[in-house]
Structure 1
Amino acid sequence: MGERVLMKGNEAIGEAAIQAGCQCFFGYPITPQTEVAAYMSKKMPKIGRVFLQAESEVAAINMIYGAAGSGVRALTSSSSPGISLKAEGISYIAGAELPCVIINIVRGGPGLGGIQPAQSDYFQATKGGAHGDFSMPVFAPASIQEMVDLVQDAFDVADMYRTPCMVMGDGMLGQMMEPVEFKERPAKNIPEKTWAANGLKGRKKHNVINSLYLDPEGLEKHNLKLQAKYEEIKKNEVRYEIYNVEEDTDLIIVAYGTTSRICKNAIKMAKEQGIKVGLIRPITLWPFPVEAFEKTINSTKHGYLSVEMSCGQMVEDVRLASNGRKPVHFYGRTGGMVPQPEDIFEKVKEIVGLK
């Protein structure tokens, strides 16, 4: 604890989960996240915990359902097509109100696409991504240190609200190496898991884990309970960074993950030419940080520019947050292509009328 070590992003995810008390890992290899599973396969058996390479992504997410239902901390990881295969299980987990953490190291799509980094799973992550009325917290780290911190936070949030949580990074973040520190974390006041299916434990009846409600009135009541929980999460768990925003900012870029780091270089270029550009960096993609826009809406002359490694997905939430009060622009690269600072700066100049 307290010592900085150089680690690949995917391996740092595994170590962060271990130090957060993860007892079970179930997964299946897929580039560019396979090193998460490889790291856990080496480490977990040595400390008496469970690593199992499932026969498929569908099997892995259902194993997570079982482990989480018994009350232990459980982790699975995958990349874009694998997350699609897990979608049914994620909905079951949300319906049964089970805490777990799901890692998505995003690659280009649709279909098998390519193994290069992308952010084109934004809709899938934030708009449910599976059937039924549910949401789940989605954390978007911008560095490997933040990935470590957010993986550990995700376990706490999952337990606090009895919900699946996703930590979503792109393939670049999974594969790059940076120094990280595994910090001593203060104890959180996590509710006792009295709901877990882990034997009678002095109870008169066994706990039953289920997401099936054949009575429509009962299912509506359950759904309304879930929605009340999601409102609590919106109140308490929104995270974001506001960077370089002043009262007379020319334009505010909105970007998350590694794209936000590239945008900070474009902001430096703009500053050298006297253009004031700020940044809103959502750290939670759901709940989306609408309040960051309320704080900045009167500080931007030319509105917002959503920069993404996609064809334009988060831009819809930026438009909703702006709500017609300021223009919303978009710049994106897709298919595994990474935006370059120079190209973002050219788009900035175009918007502010200097091109």
Structure 2
Amino acid sequence: MEKVLLKGNEIIGEAAIRSGCKLFFGYPITPSTEVVEYLSKHLPPVGGTVLQAEDEIAAINMCYGAAATGSRVLTASSSPGVSLKQEGISYSAAAELPMVIVNVNRCGPGLGGLGPAQSDYFQSVKGGGHGDYRLIVLAPSTAQELYDFTMQGFDLADQYRNPVMILSDGFLGQTMEPVVLKDRPEAPKVDRDWIIDGAKGRKKRILASYSLTNEIGEANNLRWEAKYKNIQEKEQQWEEFHTEDAEYLLVSYGTTGRICKSTVLNARKKGIKLGLIRPITLWPYPEKAFAPYKDKVKGIVTVELNTGQMIEDVKLSVECKMPVHLYRRQGGMLPTEHEILDYVEDTFNLTAVEEV
């Protein structure tokens, strides 16, 4: 292990190399461009290949072909580029092809701006392309998590034969922080009898998503549904911060999740029992995290860089047993810990309680 200082996007590239990824297909777009730049320099010397495709549509379909051979493959983009990949992502999920997709979220809609945002939440966790499918979505909030979750993403993709998304943002991707480059964990043993590597001496294998009859189509969808339910049961991940005696909760992920930790500490100094649930898997959403607090907590505030998207999953998770409010910033603006705390105090009339 070694500790180095790298930009967030470079950390993703290094983690991919150390995870055994040998192929990258993508098209540069700010603020994700350093991923392809870093890999262009460092992947070929270890026997890998980086190809800048003519566009994002070509890149995701190249990933489809590479993943079908059993190779570990990565693509990276930012919001408008990920939109262009959606059809290919849906095809890859239907063909059950493992790959890692990085979205360094920038603000929108449309071309938007280069600042950090969380406005791609719906697109990421609800299946942004057509049809009933899911991506496993990991949401890092630090440099170390960018590294660790990229490695974990490749293992999860192989384990479940499913695309995995690393949902970063413009702040995380562009920030330089120290990171410990851990050794590659032992890859899970997975079934390899589906890969396309030549049919000499065996029956042909075909990886396709087209259903020739409605009966086959339903059978396929039921099989995928069962897989997704298995993932939901086994792979929910989250972090709890000062939740043991919390009377109020913040819920936030990624960049705002790390800001909210300072808010919690500031609140505690003022005698406010505030805690934080930070989702790590955005899908499967960690609804189990909320079970102990449904009858204990007086209220929740989700902190998001959008008009309110994750709040819907929070409301479902608590089954409307408590009020859930939203504090948001948009257009690339980040909230401060003090702004968030002011909102919590005003929303739950905590300032007035303290003064009494």
TM norm. shorter chain > 0.5: yes
Listed as ranges, the matches of 1:1-355 within 5 Å are 2-200=1-199, 202-203=201-202, 205-247=203-245, 249-301=246-298, 303-355=299-351
CA apart distance, 1:201: 5.6
Structure 2 Cα separation of the partners of residues 193 and 155 of structure 1: 15
Structure 1 position 75, deviation (Å): 0.2
Task: Tell me how far 1:50 sits from its aligned partner.
Answer: 1.1
**Equivalent position SS for 2:350:** coil
- Relative to 1, partners in 2 of residues 1:244 and 1:96: Cα closer, same or farther, differing over 3 Å? same
CA shift at 1:181, angstroms?
1.1
- In structure 2, how many angstroms separate the alpha carbons of the residues matched to 1:240 and 1:201? 46
Q: How many angstroms does 1:338 deviate by? A: 0.6
**Higher alpha-carbon deviation: 189-198 or 72-81:** 189-198
Residue type of the alignment partner of 2:339: D
Partner AA of 1:273 in structure 2: K
The C-alpha deviation readout for 1:170-195, integer Å capped at 9, x for no partner, is: 11000001111121243233213210
Cα distance between partner residues in 2 of 1:80 and 1:194:
35
The CA distance in 2 between the partners of 1:46 and 1:188, in whole Å, is: 22
Normalised by the size of structure 2, how large is the TM-score? 0.97
Does the CA-based 8 Å contact 1:246-1:299 persist in structure 2? no
RMSD of the TM alignment (CA)?
1.0
Give 1:138 shift: 0.1
> Structure 1: where are the runs of 5+ without partners?
none
- Counting aligned pairs with the same residue, the percent is 53
| Runs of at least 5 residues in structure 2 that lack an aligned partner in the other structure | 352-356
In the aligned structure 1, how far is the partner of 2:323 from the partner of 2:212? 46
Q: Is the 8 A contact 2:295 2:321 kept in 1?
A: no
**Counterparts of 1:192 and 1:201 in 2: how far apart (Å)?**
19
Worse-superposed segment, 267-276 or 69-78: 267-276
CA-to-partner distance for each residue in 1:188-243, whole Å, 9 max, x for gaps?
A: 3321321011112642x221111111211101100100010001111111100111
User: What's the secondary structure of 2:114's corresponding residue?
Assistant: strand
User: How many angstroms apart in 2 are the aligned matches of 1:338 and 1:187?
Assistant: 38
Q: Per the alignment, in what secondary structure is the counterpart of residue 210 of structure 1?
A: coil
Q: Distance in 1 between matches of 2:38 and 2:200?
A: 34
Deviation at 1:269, TM superposition (A): 1.5
Moved over 3 A (4+): none
Cα separation, 1, equivalents of 2:113 and 2:158: 34
- Cα 1:212–1:250 change in 2 (3 A) is same
Describe the superposition over 1:18-75 as per-residue Cα deviations: whole angstroms up to 9, x where unpaired: 0000010000000000000001111122222110000000000000000001110000
Q: Secondary structure at the match of 2:115?
A: strand
SS of 2:277's equivalent in the other structure is: strand
Distance apart, 1:15 and its partner CA: 0.5
Post-superposition offset of 1:136:
1.0
* Residues in 1 aligned to 2:210 and 2:87: alpha-carbon distance in whole angstroms: 13
Residues 1:287 and 1:149: Cα distance change in structure 2 (over 3 Å)? same
CA distance in 2, matches of 1:305, 1:288: 17
Distance 2:187 2:64 in 1: 24
How far apart in 1 are the matches of 2:249 and 2:200? 55
